[in-house]
Amino acid sequence: MEIIWETVDRLGRIVALSDAGWIHICSRHEDMVGHQQDIRTALELADEVVRDAKYAHRQVHYLRRPPSLRWLRVVVQYRPSEPADWRGTVITAHFLSIRPRNEVLLWPLPSPS
Amino acid sequence: MAVAKPELEEKIWSDPVWPDPLPEPASLRLLYAAEADELVVLFDDQRYPAVYFDFIGTLDEDYAAIKINMRSGDVIGVLVYPLAALAVERHPAWRPALAPNPPQAVANRIVMDIKDLYDRCGLIPELAGPH
């Protein structure tokens, strides 16, 4: 398995897209073929990062660039990494219009009142 | 200078159109990725350049979505996420989709069940989501 690219997400963690992961994404979401760079942008400049509703170490990065009506949804699986850090791998990505309701916001943090 | 304008052609459909009748079971393509726990059933082999998913407003947790052709508003597939961690608890008949070579009948069952969910629950109301 080769790494196509690595980048740093909104919370400062390294996230990688592997060639195997990319093939898996495109096999289920053929419209993503031209959006590999957009996935990277969604990690670096996400509008919001949320915790997955079911998987403890899985987080979802959302990006929407007006006038687009769609959110780009990028799901990342994180694993512990030395020293005391976490690294992520992109496991799926696709567009959607209305986001699922059962996700917990991680970033941006609510401003103190 | 040419200006790309794909976004200008985007449209979100409040009443996407399901094929009637539903696709023949033999035409369905079931794609499951265990590492993502994500299942997609595509209705045909066509490539659609602009698509999006909308989740169905099931009563508690959101796990079933439909795939919509942005240009026409047609429903062209369905998505289940997460399948193993949630959906098979709600729909035990979907469990065979987790197998390496799932029977074609399970794809048909999933499509029929999601159509039924859509008819009963509709899509997530826009104001009910986080945005």
Which pairing describes strands B29-33 and A58-63: parallel, antiparallel, or unpaired?
unpaired
Backbone φ and ψ for A15, nearest 5 degrees, come out as: -130, 135
Per the structure, the count of domains in chain A is: 1
Q: Report the pLDDT value the prediction gives residue B4, as an integer from 0 to 100.
A: 46
pTM: 0.92
The pLDDT confidence band at residue B19, using thresholds 50, 70 and 90, is very high
Residue of B64 and A101 predicted with greater confidence: B64
Predicted-complex ipTM score: 0.92
Q: Which tokens in the block code for residue B18?
A: 């399901």
Query: Does residue B103 belong to any structural domain of this protein?
Result: yes
Query: Does residue B3 belong to any structural domain of this protein?
Result: no
Distance CA A39, CA A78 (A): 16
Query: Does residue B4 belong to any structural domain of this protein?
Result: no
Mean pLDDT, range B118-124, rounded to an integer: 96
Contacts of B12 in chain A (CB under 8 A): 69-70, 97
The verdict on a CB contact (< 8 Å) between B10 and A103 is no
Query: Does residue A108 belong to any structural domain of this protein?
Result: no
Question: Would you say A25 and A100 are in contact if contact means Cβ atoms under 8 Å apart?
Answer: no
- Nearest to B94, CA basis, from A85, B82, B19, B9: B82
Which among A54, A91, A97 is the nearest to B54, CB-wise? A97
pLDDT along chain A (113 residues), means of 10: 95 96 95 96 98 95 91 97 87 95 88 68
Query: Does residue A111 belong to any structural domain of this protein?
Result: no
- In the numeric block, the tokens 């629950």 are attached to B121
Dihedral, CA atoms, A85, A91, A95, A101, nearest 10 degrees? Answer: -70
pLDDT per residue as tens digits for the range B101-114: 999 999 999 999 99
Computed over every residue of chain B, the mean pLDDT equals 90
Helices (H), ranges, B55-103: 88-90
Q: What angle do CA B66, B71, B74 make, to 5 degrees?
A: 40
Query: Does residue B62 belong to any structural domain of this protein?
Result: yes
Query: Does residue A107 belong to any structural domain of this protein?
Result: no
Query: Does residue A13 belong to any structural domain of this protein?
Result: yes
Based on the number of CB atoms within 10 Å of its own CB, is A107 exposed (0-12), middle (13-18) or buried (19 or more)?
middle
Query: Does residue B29 belong to any structural domain of this protein?
Result: yes
User: Between A and B, how many CB-CB pairs are < 8 A?
Assistant: 91
Question: Would you say B105 and B25 are in contact if contact means Cβ atoms under 8 Å apart?
Answer: yes
Assess A16–B contact: CB distance below 8 Å, yes or no. no
What residues make up the domain containing B84? 11-123
Cβ within 8 Å of B, A 32-71? 48, 50, 53-55, 67-70
Query: Does residue A41 belong to any structural domain of this protein?
Result: yes
Q: Is the pLDDT of residue B117 over 90?
A: yes
Q: Report the pLDDT value the prediction gives residue B60, as an integer from 0 to 100.
A: 86
Per the structure, the count of domains in chain B is: 1
What residues make up the domain containing A84? 3-99
Amino acid letter, residue A113? S
Query: Does residue A32 belong to any structural domain of this protein?
Result: yes
